């Protein structure tokens, strides 16, 4: 949420962080320590009784996706011609050349917003997706028509129903999802942006749980270890916020790791009419 508001048209998303900073600042019993990183040993020795890991997620660097349940041959974000969203927005890695292909298996704002950003910077952009249309989730948020207009005006080439089958320096090969052997295409490109799938950044949680171990943590005074949000499984921002809120609300339940059932108020009209 620090770099997403830097994408075209998403500046308002900064409110997700700003609102909570304001509310936390009002609470005398909350201590906020920014720009500090703890390793597993530091967490264990910190003195906390409950540890909640919310380390988020990152975009796959090898093209792994739920669309194919596999990596893309040749995808490697350590190479100069392959990039992830974080490398572009956080690390400042430059997209080489003028021709860029964005592989978007996500279907929401990241792929299309990066395509818009790169097109505004003068790149010739091709947006490839396995779906029948770009960013279908934007139809639920009412952003889709405006996004389609933007990309059309910027000259972004849209390629639906395709999955990338190979990435090489200067070239991307893709196959049609309904005819993977007889219908293939190749694009000559200078750079490829991998918006394929996010992966949980669970290294700290695993080190605490499996490396140090729960028994050793208890010996240090840590009575409970939980993870929330994208660290548990990548999800929408709203779902990540709810994940943390839910755990905090149920932290004193018998097993906070298992969500309590929703309590729904329902009027039973038949009983009211019968006077029961």
Q: Is the pLDDT of residue 270 over 70?
A: no
Residue 134 CB coordination number (10 Å)? 23
What angle (nearest 5°) sits at the alpha carbon of residue 262, between those of residues 259 and 267? 170
Residue 276: its pLDDT value, please? Answer: 58
Give DSSP secondary structure letters for 200-229.
Answer: E--HHHHIIIIIIIHHHHHHTT--EEEE-G
d(Cα 84, Cα 102) in Å, to the nearest integer? 10
d(Cα 43, Cα 100) in Å, to the nearest integer? 42
127 token code pair: 């947006």
The count of C-alpha atoms lying within 13 angstroms of the C-alpha of 242, restricted to the half-sphere facing its C-beta, is: 7
101 token code pair: 């292909």
Domains of the chain: residue spans and CATH: 4-57+200-249 (3.40.50.720), 59-198 (3.50.50.60)
Residue 200: its pLDDT value, please? Answer: 98
- pTM (2 d.p.): 0.90
The residues near 229 (Cβ < 8 Å, ≥ 6 apart) are: 54, 56, 235, 239, 240, 241, 243, 244
For 259-263, what is the mean pLDDT?
Answer: 88
pLDDT tens-digit map of 77-125: 999 999 999 999 999 999 999 999 999 999 999 999 999 999 999 999 9
What's phi and psi for 163, nearest 5 deg? -125, 140
Q: Is the pLDDT of residue 263 over 90?
A: no
The residues near 256 (Cβ < 8 Å, ≥ 6 apart) are: 224, 226, 247, 250
The residues near 226 (Cβ < 8 Å, ≥ 6 apart) are: 50, 51, 52, 53, 247, 256, 257
Q: Are 123 and 114 in contact (CB under 8 A)?
A: no
Name the pairing type of β-strands 57-59 and 50-53: unpaired
């Amino acid at each position: 949420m620090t770099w997403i508001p830097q994408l075209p048209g998403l500046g308002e998303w900064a409110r997700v962080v700003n609102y909570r900073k304001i509310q936390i600042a009002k609470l005398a019993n909350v201590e906020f320590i920014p720009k500090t990183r703890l390793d597993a040993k530091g967490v264990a020795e910190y003195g906390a009784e409950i540890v909640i890991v919310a380390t988020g997620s990152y975009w796959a660097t090898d093209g792994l996706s739920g669309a194919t349940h596999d990596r893309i041959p040749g995808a490697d974000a350590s190479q100069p011609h392959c990039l992830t969203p974080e490398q572009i927005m956080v690390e400042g890695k430059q997209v080489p050349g003028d021709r860029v292909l964005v592989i978007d298996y996500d279907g929401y704002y990241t792929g299309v917003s990066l395509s818009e950003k790169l097109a505004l910077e003068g790149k010739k952009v091709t947006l490839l997706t396995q779906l029948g249309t770009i960013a279908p989730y934007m139809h639920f948020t009412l952003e889709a028509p405006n996004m389609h207009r933007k990309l059309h005006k910027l000259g972004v080439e849209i390629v639906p129903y395709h999955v990338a089958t190979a990435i090489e320096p200067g070239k991307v090969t893709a196959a049609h999802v309904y005819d993977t052997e007889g219908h293939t295409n190749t694009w000559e490109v200078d750079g490829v942006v991998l918006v394929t799938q996010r992966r949980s950044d669970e290294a700290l949680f695993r080190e605490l749980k499996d490396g140090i171990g729960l028994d050793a943590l208890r010996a240090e005074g840590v009575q409970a270890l939980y993870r929330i949000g994208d660290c548990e499984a990548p999800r929408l921002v709203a779902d990540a916020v709810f994940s943390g809120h839910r755990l905090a609300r149920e932290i004193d339940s018998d097993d906070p790791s298992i969500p309590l059932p929703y309590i729904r108020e329902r009027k039973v009209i038949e009983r009211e009419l019968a006077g029961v």
